[in-house]
Amino acid sequence: MSIQRLEQLNEMHIDVLKEIGNIGAGNAATSLSKMLDTEVNMTTPVVKILDITDAANLLGGPENVVIGILSKLGGDIEGIMMFIIEQEFAKSVLTSLLGVQEVSCDRLTDMELSAISEIGNIMIAAYTGSIGTLSGMNLKTTVPAITVDMVGAILSVPAIEMGSVSDKIIFIEDDFLSGKDDVTANMLLVPSIESLNRLMEKLGIQL
Amino acid sequence: MSETFTIGISDMKVVKSTDSLVTYALGSCVGICLYDPVMKIGGLGHIMLPIYPVNNPKENLMRFADTCIPEMLSQMEKLGCNRRRITAKIAGGAKMFEVADDSSFGNIGQRNVAEVKNTLNRLQIRLCAEDTGLNYGRTVYFYTEDGRMVVKSFSNGIKTY
C-alpha cells in the first residue's frame, strides 16, 4: 500500500520525520552558530501534519506578516521546502549579522533581504542535508526565493504549487536558543506524494 | 443585526444584507464575490486551484474555480437572485515567490484568475472589478449592503471596489 494523501501518515512516519527534523535542526544550529558567531542550541523538534489554516493560526493568524523563504526540491525528491521567519527572529538575526539597530520589516533593504535569504538557505540546506544523510537520497535545491507578506498568503503556496489533493503540510517546529533569545524556526515540507512514498521506502518504513 | 462571516480556504458562503463576508490572506488563491443588487444577496468563494479533477470525484467543490462559482450561483438563484443582475468582483491570484531558475513557478495564480474569468464568462456573469496578479497577499471584505469589495494588503494599503 502506498500513501495517497499526507493525512494518511501515521505515528511511525511522523517519528521518522521527527528524526529528520532533529538532525536538520542540529545541522542548522551548528551553521547558525558559525554564522552568528555565538552559541546556538535547539530543542527537540515538533512535527505536525497541519491544515494550512491551522498552521496560519499557529503563526499568529493569517494576516500576521512574516518572512517566507522558499526553495524547490529536485533530484530524488520533488517538492517544496519553506522556512518561515517571524519578524522578531529577523530583527535579532539582522542585529547580530549586520549590526543594524532599527529594522523595519516592511522596508527591508537589499542587504537585509540578502542576509535573511542566506539564513533561509542555511536552514533549508540543513534539513535537506538531513534527509539526504538518513535516506541516502540525492536532493537538489533551487536558489531561495524570499517574500515578506501575510503568513496565510505565503503558506498556501507550497500545497498549491504541488497541485496537492489536500490542504495539509508537514510542519517542523524547532526552538533555537541563543543567549537570551529564544526563537522558533518553522520549516515546512511539501513533497510530491510519489517522493514521500519513495522517501519512506528508502528509510525502511513499511507503508 | 449584521454579522461578518469568515470564509476559509476552499470555502464559500452566500449571505443576505446586511451581513458581510471576509476571507483572509489570499496568495495565489482567488476570492470571488457575486452580488445581486436588487436582492442584496452576495456570495464569497475562496478557490485554490483552477479546474476540478474529474479523475478524483471526491474533491471539495469549493477548492476549484470551475465548480465553486456555479455552486455559488445556484445557491443565490435558490434564494431568488436573478443571474442577469448578478455581477462579479474578484481579487487575488498573486505570484508570491519569484524562483530564480524556474520561471513557471507561481504561475498558478495567473491560471486561477484565467479560469475564474472563463467560468464567469461561461455563466454569463459580468466581471465589474478586479484586483489580481502582482506579487502580494490580499484580504477581501465583501459587504452585501451595497456590494462593496474592500481589498487590504500589507504592502499596498486598502482599496475599495
Please tell me the CATH superfamily of domain A6-202, with its number: CheC-like (3.40.1550.10)
Question: Which residues pair with residue A42 across a beta bridge?
Answer: A176
CATH of the domain at B95: 3.30.1330.200
| Chain A residues within an 8 Å CB radius of B105 | 72, 145, 161
| pLDDT higher than 70, residue A207 | no
Which percentage of chain A shows pLDDT scores above 90?
A: 30
Residues 124-153 of B with CB under 8 A from A: 135-139, 153
A148 touches chain B (CB under 8 A): yes
| pLDDT higher than 90, residue A154 | yes
| Chain B residues within an 8 Å CB radius of A152 | 24-27, 137
Question: Which residues pair with residue A86 across a beta bridge?
Answer: A66
Q: Name the residue type at position B74.
A: S
A113 touches chain B (CB under 8 A): no
Q: Which of A149, A188, A193 to mutate: most B Cβ within 10 Å?
A: A149
The pLDDT-based confidence of A206 (bands split at 50, 70, 90) is: low
Expressed as residue numbers, the domain containing B77 is 4-160
Query: In angstroms, rounded to a whole number, what is the distance separating the alpha carbons of residues A49 and B88?
Result: 36
Query: In angstroms, rounded to a whole number, what is the distance separating the alpha carbons of residues A34 and A100?
Result: 19
> What pLDDT is stored for residue A96 in this prediction?
79
CA atoms within 13 A on the CB side of A196: 23
Distance from CA of A158 to the nearest CA of B (A): 10
The pLDDT-based confidence of A40 (bands split at 50, 70, 90) is: confident
pTM score, two decimals?
Answer: 0.90
| Chain B residues within an 8 Å CB radius of A159 | 48
For the question of residue B128 being annotated catalytic, the response is no
CB pair distance less than 8 Å for B25 and A143: no
pLDDT tens figures, B47-104: 999 999 888 777 899 999 999 999 999 999 999 999 999 999 999 999 999 988 777 7
CB pair distance less than 8 Å for B8 and A53: yes
CB pair distance less than 8 Å for B96 and A149: yes
Q: List phi, psi (to 5°) of B98.
A: -105, 100
Query: In angstroms, rounded to a whole number, what is the distance separating the alpha carbons of residues B30 and A153?
Result: 11
CA B39 to chain centre: 20
Instruction: Find cell 543594524 and name the residue.
Output: A100
Nearest to B137 among A149, A160, A163 (CB): A149
B104 touches chain A (CB under 8 A): no
> What pLDDT is stored for residue A138 in this prediction?
92
Query: In angstroms, rounded to a whole number, what is the distance separating the alpha carbons of residues B131 and B117?
Result: 13
The pLDDT-based confidence of A1 (bands split at 50, 70, 90) is: low
Distance from CA of A41 to the nearest CA of B (A): 31
Q: Name the residue type at position A80.
A: I
B47 touches chain A (CB under 8 A): no
CB pair distance less than 8 Å for A145 and B98: yes
Size of interface A-B (CB pairs under 8 A): 99
The pLDDT-based confidence of A69 (bands split at 50, 70, 90) is: very high
CB pair distance less than 8 Å for A62 and B25: yes
| pLDDT higher than 70, residue A164 | no
Lowest mean pLDDT, pick from A98-102, A110-114, A144-148, A186-190: A98-102
CB pair distance less than 8 Å for A52 and B101: no
> What pLDDT is stored for residue A92 in this prediction?
80
Query: What share of residues in chain A are helix, strand, coil (percent, to 5)?
Result: 45, 30, 25
B28 touches chain A (CB under 8 A): yes
CA B84 to chain centre: 19
| pLDDT higher than 80, residue A183 | no
| Chain A residues within an 8 Å CB radius of B56 | 165
Number of domains in chain B: 1
Query: In angstroms, rounded to a whole number, what is the distance separating the alpha carbons of residues B151 and A39?
Result: 44
pLDDT tens figures, B120-138: 999 999 999 999 999 999 9
